[in-house]
Amino acid sequence: MLLQQPEAEKVFFYLAVAVFMASAVIAWTGFLFNKSLHKTLVTSMAMAVIASALSIGLRWAQTGNGPFVTLYEVLLSNLFSLGFIFLLIYKVIPQSRSAALFVLPLLSIIGIWAATTSMAPIVIPATYDTALLWIHVAVGKIFLGMCLTATGLAAVLLLRYSLSIEGFESLPGNSELDDLAWRFMAVAFVFHSLMLIAGAAWAQDAWGRFWAWDSLETWAFITWLVLGLSLHARVTWQLPDWAGWLMIISVFILALLTFFGVPFSSAGPHRGII
C-alpha cells in the first residue's frame, strides 16, 4: 500500500545530501591546501548524519516500520548508517581521516542516486516484523561501513602510488594506511559472517528455511568468499601493494552490486521495490 510522503522528510533528505556534498568539498579543500579543517568537517558530517536520521524518523513515524524494502529506503538508511559509522571512525581513529577524500564523495553519490528513485512510502510485509531482521540489517551495515572506510584508504594509497601531490606528505605512511585498511577488512569479514548467520535465522523464522540459494543469498555468499579470499591472499601471498588495494576496492564494489542491485533486479523473497 502506497502512502503520502511527508514534505519535512524530503527537506531533511535533501539537506543531508547537500551537506554530505559540502563535506566532500571541505575534505578536499583541506587536503589540497594543506589546511586543518577537521573540526569543520566533523561538524558538517554530523549535520548530514542528523538530517538523514530525521528523514528516516519522519518516514518511520508515518509507516510504522523501518526503511527496508524500497530502493530509496535502502539508500537512505545506508546514507545514515555509513555516514554515522565513518563519523565515529573519523573521530576515534585519526589515522583513518584521509579516507574522507573518497568516502564522502561516495556518500554524496548514494544520496544523489536516492534522489532519482521513487520516494513513495509503503507498508512492509509481516515477515519483516522481527528482531532477527534488525540484527541482520544492523551487522550488515557495520560490514559495509568497515568496507567503505577500507576502500577510502585503498583509494588514497592508489592515488598516492600513481601521482605526486604535495598534500600526501602530511598523511600517514603507506605501510600504516595499508595495515589499517586491512584491519577494517578483517572486521568487515566478521560482521559479514554474522550477517549471513542472522539472515539464515531470520529466513527460518520468516519462510521456514535457513537457506535457499536465491539471488541475494547467493551473491551475499559470493561476496563473503571473495572477502575471505582477499584476506587469505593478503596473509599468505606476496602480492604487490597495489594489487591488495585493488582487491579491497573490488570487494566493496561487489558488495554494492549485491545489496543495492540484486534485490531490485531479481525475483525472490528478498525482492525490493524500485
Q: Are 49 and 77 in contact (CB under 8 A)?
A: no
Confidence of residue 76 (pLDDT cuts 50, 70, 90): very high
Amino acid 140: pLDDT: 94
Q: How far is CA 256 from CA 16, 27, 105, 208, in A?
A: 21, 23, 15, 28
Claim to verify: residue 148 and residue 84 sit in the same structural domain: no
Give the span between the Cα atoms of 273 and 265, in whole angstroms: 9
Please report which confidence band the pLDDT of residue 120 belongs to, taking 50, 70 and 90 as the band edges: confident
> Is a pLDDT exceeding 90 seen at residue 41?
yes
pTM of the model: 0.90
Per-residue H/E/C for 230-243: HHHHHHHCCCCHHH
Domain shared by 104 and 141, yes or no: no
Does residue 44 or residue 126 have the better pLDDT? 44
Under DSSP, the state recorded for 269 is: T
Q: Are residues 79 and 52 in contact, defined by beta-carbon separation less than 8 angstroms?
A: yes
Comparing 239 with 14, the larger pLDDT belongs to 14
Same domain, 114 and 180: no
Residue 2, pLDDT > 50, answer no
Number of CB atoms found within 10 A of residue 208's CB: 7
* Domain count across the chain: 2
CATH number of the domain bearing residue 23: 1.20.120
Same domain for 30 and 113, yes or no, is yes
Residues 244 and 181 in one domain: yes
Quick one: cell of 148? 567503505
Average pLDDT of span 146-161: 95
pLDDT above 70 coverage of the chain, percent? 88
- DSSP-derived letter for residue 266 is S
Confidence grade of residue 1 (pLDDT, cut at 50, 70, 90) = very low
Find residue 273's DSSP bridge partners: 70
91 and 138 assigned to the same domain: no
Are 211 and 265 in the same domain? yes
Q: Do residues 99 and 159 lie in contact, with contact meaning Cβ atoms separated by under 8 Å?
A: no
Whether pLDDT at 43 is above 70: yes
Pair (251, 222) in one structural domain: yes
Give the pLDDT confidence of 184-243 residue by residue, as tens digits. Answer: 999 999 999 999 999 888 878 767 777 777 788 888 999 999 999 999 999 998 889 999
Q: Which of 117-121, 162-166, 182-186, 202-206 is least confident? A: 162-166
User: What's the grid cell of residue 150?
Assistant: 577500507
